[in-house]
């Protein structure tokens, strides 16, 4: 009987132990504008949002377990600090760890989409982190639609730097200067 209980115990405990033993992945991703598709308003044809412009950083902390896992995202960019974003402390995009919306085994890509609607305005932010040949790539989309017109619609795409826990903590505390 004790033998059977031990087997049941290990069958129940081992999966959670393997998750706990999986190290976190820490990424620092420069937010570089790939495309500005804004149709109307002050951000249309804005020189500060032209292709190739660095408009901030995104920092990620998650476990690569090849399925939906929790992710913590911090943002230091013009979206939350204005054009003077350098040297400002990054803000939590996710106030607590949230689960990725999906994970694709075939493409090794994690995705998360956040959407909010307020009085005729819809704001959508999409995140994707993909591992290709041991390099991490990050794509972020941000769109704001007011009264059926795109007033801000940008796509950011970049290669991320994998960093250690100490560097991650320092960047979260102090930001990129």
Q: For the purposes of burial, counting CB atoms within 10 Å of the CB of 105, is it exposed (0-12), middle (13-18) or buried (19 or more)?
A: exposed
How far is it, in rounded angstroms, from Cα 58 to Cα 50? 19
Residue 119 — pLDDT band, cuts 50, 70, 90? confident
Q: Is the pLDDT of residue 175 over 70?
A: yes
pLDDT at residue 20, rounded to an integer: 55
Q: Is the pLDDT of residue 113 over 80?
A: yes
Q: Is the pLDDT of residue 143 over 90?
A: yes
DSSP state of 89: P
pTM for this entry: 0.84
Task: Give me the DSSP letters along 125-159.
Answer: EEEEEEEETTEEEEEEEEEEEETTEEEEEEEEEEE
* Contact (Cβ atoms closer than 8 angstroms) between residue 167 and residue 26: yes
Q: How does pLDDT run across 61-108, given as a tens digit for each residue? A: 999 987 778 999 999 998 888 888 888 999 998 877 889 999 998 888
Task: Using the structure block, give the residue that is written with the tokens 């949230």.
Answer: 98
Highest mean pLDDT among 37-41, 160-164, 172-176: 160-164
């Amino acid at each position: 009987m004790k033998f059977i209980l031990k087997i049941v115990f290990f069958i129940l405990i081992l999966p959670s132990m393997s998750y706990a033993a999986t190290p976190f992945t820490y990424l620092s991703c420069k937010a570089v504008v790939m495309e500005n598709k804004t149709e109307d308003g002050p951000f249309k044809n804005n020189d500060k949002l032209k292709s190739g412009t660095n408009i901030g950083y995104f920092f990620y902390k998650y476990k690569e377990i090849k399925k939906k896992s929790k992710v913590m995202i911090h943002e230091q960019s013009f979206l939350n600090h204005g054009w003077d974003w350098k040297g400002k402390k990054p803000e939590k995009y996710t106030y607590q760890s949230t689960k990725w919306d999906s994970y694709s085994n075939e493409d090794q890509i994690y995705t998360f989409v956040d959407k909010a609607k307020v009085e005729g305005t819809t704001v959508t932010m999409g995140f994707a982190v993909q591992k290709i040949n041991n390099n991490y790539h990050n794509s972020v989309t941000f769109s704001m639609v007011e009264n059926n017109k795109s007033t801000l619609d940008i796509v950011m795409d970049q290669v991320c730097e994998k960093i250690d826990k100490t560097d991650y903590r320092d960047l979260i505390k102090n930001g990129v200067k």
